[in-house]
Structure 1
Amino acid sequence: MTARLTSRSSTPVRQSSVRAHNLALVLDTVANSADPPSRASVAALTGLTRATVSALTDDLIAGGLLVERDPPPRTGAGRPAAGLALTAAGPAGLGLEIGVDYLAACVVYLTGAVRQRLTEHADQRPAGPAAALAALGRLGARARLAAEADGLVIAGAALAVPGLVSTGLIPAGPGAAGPSGPGAAGLVRVAPNLGWQDVDAPALLRGVPELADLSIAVDNEANLAALGELRVTGGNPDFLYVSGEVGIGAGLVIDGELYRGARGWSGEIGHVTVYPDGRPCRCGANGCLEQYAGQEALAADEPLAAAALGIALAAVVNLLDVPVIVLGGAYAPLFDRLRDGIEAELRRRVLTSGLAPVTLRAARLGAEAAVRGAADAVIREVRDDPARWLRRTA
């Protein structure tokens, strides 16, 4: 939930800031209610006056963020109240993903439901970044046009890539929505499995005319997959998401927030050394986890891949006290075959395994977690700051 304003602040609070906070509070309250709440219920839950809630609700309805449903039939004394819900029309997020051997695009409603999902399978390594991102942009344009034909408005786009990213928002215009973060926004510093270095991904995507007006954020695919998993599960605020593709990435969620590290480059578990004198890796080191549990190595020797994963994951658990590990990407459909080997290493190597065993489970979103997480990141920005969206649509 959006943080509430407190009396401890030493700086004056502008009226516009109070309104922005209250808009987010009302929207968040409706979004997290099990049943559509009435305006009176929202007032009671938020502590705001009924008049304030009514005015804010009118603005959120006019901006296409909420709908007011007809009241249920009367069953007794009193008049039943209309319920509020997130709209299934209005703003939507466009998620884009580039993998070593596929492209994906996804459109997600404000409610989190998927409207459109497109995938193309082809090796992206020979194409180079300009051609690969142009092809992905065309796929995203198809998804956008189909969504807009249904009356949706694309609020922004986010791209998931398998590499180190200087994360953040590259705005395309005032009020545009998209995830934000530290660093020189949107630059793919290095994606070794694609052969990319210092690629301005948003600029290349905007070469497709249908995407030219969008804000486009870029993030590591494992980070976005972790955020997607967090949204659909919601119940566990502390976990490590491990994405198994040609490379291996991880997204660490602590207290319901993604941990990025000082430069936004945390989670490169694929380059944790599991066998110091082992196979050479593309990164220049030897014995990296990717060489034993990446997609190609996994196909050759599943037991060895499971053992290598267990060794690397045990180190993470000993260091960070992670209670839950989620296996995604190529690992999700193979979970039952990998589980015993991974858990054997965890029991053997985690100091606290006898006191509090680590929970290991398959990702709920499977292979589409990153592209879903990318689309969700755009929607999350709209839900966290609806005032910005209302200014854009005014």
Structure 2
Amino acid sequence: MERRPAGANLAGLRDHNAALVLGLLRASAEGGSRVQLAAQTGLTPQAVSKIVGRLLADGLVVEAGRGESTGGKPRTLLALRPEAGCAVGIELDRRRSTILVLDLAGTTLRRRSVDIGLASGEPERVVGALAKRVSQAVRAAPDGAKVLGVGVGCRGPLDYETGTLHRPAGLPAWDGFPLRGLLEESLDVPNVLLDKDTNVAALAAPAAVSGSTAYLHLADGLGAGLLLNGAVHRGARTNAGEFGHQVLQPDGPQCTCGARGCLEALCMAALADDDPQTAARWLGVGAANLVRLLDIDRILLGGHQIFASPDVYPRAVADQIAEHLPEPEWQSVRVSLTPAGASAVAVGAAQLVIDSALGGI
């Protein structure tokens, strides 16, 4: 599939500039004045006034009082109106899915878990059943809230740009499946985005991000989302983060990818023996490799296996990192559970849509 540069027209430019303004207001708890927005965006005061006028008319922005006087008349502050819009986020796992609705401020309005997953049947039937539940969530959005779109976090490998899955381990029927395209056909929403579950979960906790962060997700598989200097690292084929398929024990247990001794297979074998401590140690060994490779300074942990033993994993991973680094005091690494909690993937998927609509990425 040939990828062509996107063209731009006047309407698109207006939308881009409005997204810049909305993104700045979303990032500021205090709001901002028209003068501040003009300075931050580089737009003229007249252009900002026109944009703000449209946003006020659309109900996306409200006037939120007066700022402090700097010698003249206090300026009117503008703020994002959270209830004016929402997005649906989905965690599509192997056997279950979580569907939730977030408002523009990131507050969860509704949450539902359903027994629909990648291993539930033929891909077309799974997408049809999932689309039905998502449509119900869209119809249940608060009155007056504009639904910005639907975001999906799914296990990889996948192509972020085309929305196509590529040989997900143990799921051959999904190889080459155009998941995003079929969801777009099935849902009456303005935008559908698909990314790896680990990437969106990493985005779900932006307040915790400083320097370079790795989000490690242990659920029905194992993967990583990488935030390098605050930006998602997707790689040349948008498929970075296949962390679970580094081979640590060449004669080890068979992995669903076909290799032997992958980190994922070692963790899953330990969990099958009801031994989360051993799984956590293996996870820590892999995390130490990642730290030494990319000089990561923060590890966030998530996924239902992690939250089944929340006291075990952070301590064991931190211990293994310290043991395998030559100078642990100099190369300090913070390890913690993701502050976004057990719904991090679905939350991040919805935030991906909101960020895209409001100019956050």
CA 113–55 in structure 1, closer or farther in 2 if over 3 Å, else same: same
- Per-residue deviation, 1:356: 2.2
Please tell me the residue identity of whatever aligns with 1:186. G
Counterpart code for 1:154: V
Q: 1:85 to 1:265 in 2, by over 3 A?
A: same
AA partner of residue 226 (structure 1)? A
Letter in 2 for 1:130: E
**TM alignment of 1:1-394, pairs within 5 A:** 22-43=17-38, 50-69=45-64, 81-121=75-115, 124-147=118-141, 149-168=142-161, 185-195=162-172, 196-206=174-184, 208=186, 211-230=187-206, 233=207, 235-294=209-268, 297=271, 300-330=274-304, 331-332=306-307, 334-384=309-359
Q: Hey, what's the Cα distance between the residues in 1 that align with 2:12 and 2:164?
A: 31
TM-score (structure 2 length as normaliser): 0.86
Contact 1:297 1:305 in 2 (8 A): yes
Deviation at 1:267, TM superposition (A): 0.5
Change (3 A) 1:142 1:296: farther
Structure 2 Cα separation of the partners of residues 143 and 95 of structure 1:
10
Whether the 8 Å CA contact 2:170–2:257 is kept in 1: the answer is: no
Give 1:103 deviation, angstroms.
1.3
Partner of 2:3: none
Q: Which amino acid aligns with 1:106?
A: L
Flag structure 1 segments of 5+ consecutive residues without an equivalent.
1-12, 169-184, 387-394
Q: 2 CA distance for matches of 1:225 and 1:82?
A: 36
What's 1:172 paired with? none
**Partners of 2:190 and 2:45 in 1: CA distance:** 37
Q: Secondary structure at the match of 1:136?
A: helix
Q: Kindly indicate whether the alpha-carbon contact (under 8 Å) linking 1:137 and 1:206 is maintained by their aligned counterparts in 2.
A: no
Confirm or deny: 8 A CA contact 1:248 1:290 kept in the other structure.
Answer: yes
- Residues 124 and 47 from structure 1, CA distance in 2 versus in 1: closer, same or farther, beyond 3 angstroms? closer
TM-score by length of 1: 0.79
Which residue is equivalent to 2:5? none
Q: Is 152-161 or 375-384 further displaced after alignment?
A: 152-161
Q: In angstroms, what is the RMSD of aligned CA positions?
A: 3.0
Q: Distance in 1 between matches of 2:261 and 2:97?
A: 29
2:95, 2:120 within 8 Å by CA — same for their partners in 1? Answer: no
1:225 deviates by 0.9
SS at match of 1:57: helix
Are the counterparts in 2 of residues 274 and 308 from structure 1 also a CA contact under 8 Å?
no
Which amino acid is 2:331 matched to?
A
Q: Deviations over 1:22-41 (max 9, x none)?
A: 53443333222231333344
Which residues of structure 2 form unaligned runs of 5+?
1-7
Within 2, Cα distance between the matches of 1:295 and 1:115? 37
Cα distance, 1:380 vs. partner? 0.9
The verdict on how the C-alpha distance between 1:18 and 1:205 changes in structure 2, with shifts beyond 3 A counting, is: closer
Per-residue CA deviation, residues 110-130 of structure 1 (Å, 9 max, x unaligned), is 222222222113565242212
Question: Identity of paired residues, percent?
Answer: 31
Shift in CA distance, 44/164, structure 1 to aligned 2, threshold 3 Å: closer
Aligned equivalents of 1:301 and 1:47: distance in 2?
Answer: 56
Closer, same or farther in 2 for the Cα pair 1:226/1:214, shift >3 Å? same
Q: Secondary structure at the match of 1:374?
A: helix
- Describe the superposition over 1:259-302 as per-residue Cα deviations: whole angstroms up to 9, x where unpaired: 01111111011111222211111111111111222497266211
134 and 256 in structure 1: CA distance in 2 versus 1, 3 angstrom threshold:
same
User: Alpha carbons of 1:94 and 1:45: their partners in 2 closer, same or farther (altered >3 Å)?
Assistant: same
Distance 2:255 2:42 in 1: 57
Asked if the contact 1:193–1:246 (Cα under 8 Å) also holds between the matched residues in 2, the reply is no
Q: Does structure 2 retain, via aligned residues, the 8 Å contact 1:96–1:160? A: yes
* Counterparts in 2 of 1:276 and 1:142: CA distance versus 1, 3 Å: same
In the alignment, residue 58 of structure 1 is paired with which amino acid?
G
Post-superposition shift, 1:245? 0.6
Separation in 2 of the partners of 1:261 and 1:295? 29
Is this contact kept in 2: 1:100–1:193, CA < 8 A?
no
